[in-house]
Amino acid sequence: CVTLDVQAACRDTTVTQELLKEGFHRDLLVRVELGEDAGGCAVAARVPLPSGIYVDPYELATLQEHNLTKAVLFPDVIDVEAPEYSARGLVLVLFLERDVRCSRCFRAAVPVHARYHRPADGAREALVLLGSPEVLLCCCHGHLSAECWEPAEVDAPCSSDTTSPCQWHSTKHRPAYEESMLRIPVGLREHNSLVCALTLLTTGLCSALILAAACKYGHF
């Protein structure tokens, strides 16, 4: 009976995520509908990003300066040029804004970028799967039901504007309806020789043109 009462008291929280646009540069949209009113609490989503996709910290800083996106990256130092096979996964804490059309609904979007993958044998694309985000609440002045919410180990402030620590709470929720999948074009191994030959030929031709122009117009 106690279990049934707890389940009845803890209304389902739902989360959905969607990859917008096409190509290597996309927007990740996260939506959350809480089972109860947030009551002035900060709402966020902890999104695990696999090694095949990343958020550009410099782009993120620019967006935050213009108050377009609020988020924290772990780690905060990222090699944006690294290919998928030498990169590591990231954790994005994305602060959500209230949806004006729904008092219990929150949403936020952030640009994400796909990394280059190794050439494959036969396959023309690689698949990058994004798991379901974790819904987080930080209530500095509110009270959360202990049956529905439990402390979460998240080393992030209550907002992107402060650095003071915050106690986040998480709840069990219905995951995203399906894992978001990003399809990334990859090269074919059998084209390696052709690509190397064309690259070498193009590099040699461009170097010769630059040298010729330097000899003709340069002052030595």
Q: 102 CB contacts (<8 Å, ≥6 apart)?
A: 33
Would you say 4 and 15 are in contact if contact means Cβ atoms under 8 Å apart? no
Tell me: pLDDT of 210 over 80.
yes
pTM exceeds cut of 0.85? no
Q: Tens digit of pLDDT for each residue in 96-127? A: 998 888 888 999 999 999 998 887 676 678 88
How far is residue 203 CA from its own chain's centroid? 36
Average pLDDT over all residues of the chain: 80
Domain boundaries, the chain: 14-187, 188-219
Q: What is the C-alpha to C-alpha distance for residues 108 and 28, in angstroms, rounded to an integer?
A: 8
* Burial class for 165, CB neighbours closer than 10 Å (0-12, 13-18, 19+): exposed
Q: What is the C-alpha to C-alpha distance for residues 113 and 26, in angstroms, rounded to an integer?
A: 6
Q: Tens digit of pLDDT for each residue in 153-191? A: 887 777 666 667 678 888 766 665 555 778 877 766 666
